[in-house]
């Protein structure tokens, strides 16, 4: 499905307060327990500094915590892409 650039521009200009999301359920603990991580095809190794408690929390989730950090950052970007 494609969308015209004109329609996309109109949709981008709708304020969040004008969007009715009342029929969308909140994401609960069960959602996150069954959610599946989708890894991007191209990744680059890099060094970042994280607060120790944040790193400890991700490490406590077990093997693959680096991918979990990547997924959390991607989710943040997708939720805040209009910034």
| pLDDT tens digits, one per residue of 21-67 | 899 888 888 888 888 877 767 888 899 999 999 999 999 999 999 98
User: What is the model's pLDDT at position 56?
Assistant: 96
d(CA 26, CA 69): 22
pTM for this model (two decimals)? 0.50
What pLDDT does 13 receive?
Answer: 92
Residue scoring higher pLDDT (12 or 82): 12
pLDDT value at residue 79: 87
67 burial level (CB within 10 Å; 0-12, 13-18, 19+): middle
Domain ranges within the chain, ordered by starting residue: 23-79
Degrees, nearest 5: CA angle 48-49-50: 115
């Amino acid at each position: 499905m494609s969308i015209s650039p004109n329609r996309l521009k109109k949709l981008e200009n709708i304020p969040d307060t004008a969007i009715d999301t009342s029929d969308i359920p909140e994401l609960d603990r069960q959602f996150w327990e069954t959610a599946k991580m989708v890894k991007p095809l191209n990744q680059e190794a890099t060094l970042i500094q994280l607060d120790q408690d944040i790193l400890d929390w991700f490490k406590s989730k077990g093997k693959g915590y680096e991918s979990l950090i990547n997924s959390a950052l991607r989710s943040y970007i997708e939720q805040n892409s209009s910034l």
